[in-house]
Amino acid sequence: MDAHSPSGSGYWYGPDDRLDPPGAVLQALREYRTVEVARRRSTRDSMGMGETDLLALRYLLRAQSHGERVGPKDLSRVLGITTASTTSLIDRLVSSGHVRREPHPTDRRSLVVVPTVATDAEVRATLGDMHRRMMAVAESLSADEARTVVSFLRRMSEAIAEPGSGRSD
């Protein structure tokens, strides 16, 4: 028996076999998270990199698409890692051909980290279809439904954030 049936785990249904809406919502959220984590793991494995490496690439690609330059200090800050860890990360990504170090165009003392064209193509090939399917689901929501989902997810982020941290990540 599965968690979706009234005689399953009891998580979605109360002892009187009535639907427990808050429980069903939390279970659906957990199921989404489980699938999302598995997909991220599969993507990392297929690209031969760790979680931080993939997060760095996603940040670099997003910054590049907005015309922003990213230096090692920016990566350290965004990823919440030390400068030594950032240097090791960049070294790995350079060695694997995913990024290049380039001189900063206006500050001769600085370097920027730039994703390669091949990396952009690899990430698009690996994640593009999944992102298109996710976007189709999001686009199927009415404006009211979208507001409700966004509000719910923001409140959930706040609920699980570390107390007093002011962060929701």
**Residue 119 pLDDT level (bands cut at 50, 70, 90):** confident
pLDDT at position 11: 56
Closest CA to 91 of 83, 51, 77: 83
Average pLDDT of the chain is 85
- Residue-wise pLDDT tens digits, 34-91: 998 898 888 888 878 888 998 999 899 999 999 999 999 999 999 999 999 999 999 9
Give CA–CA dist 127/39, Å, rounded.
9
Closest CA to 50 of 116, 115, 98: 98
The fraction of the chain above a pLDDT of 70, given in percent, is 86
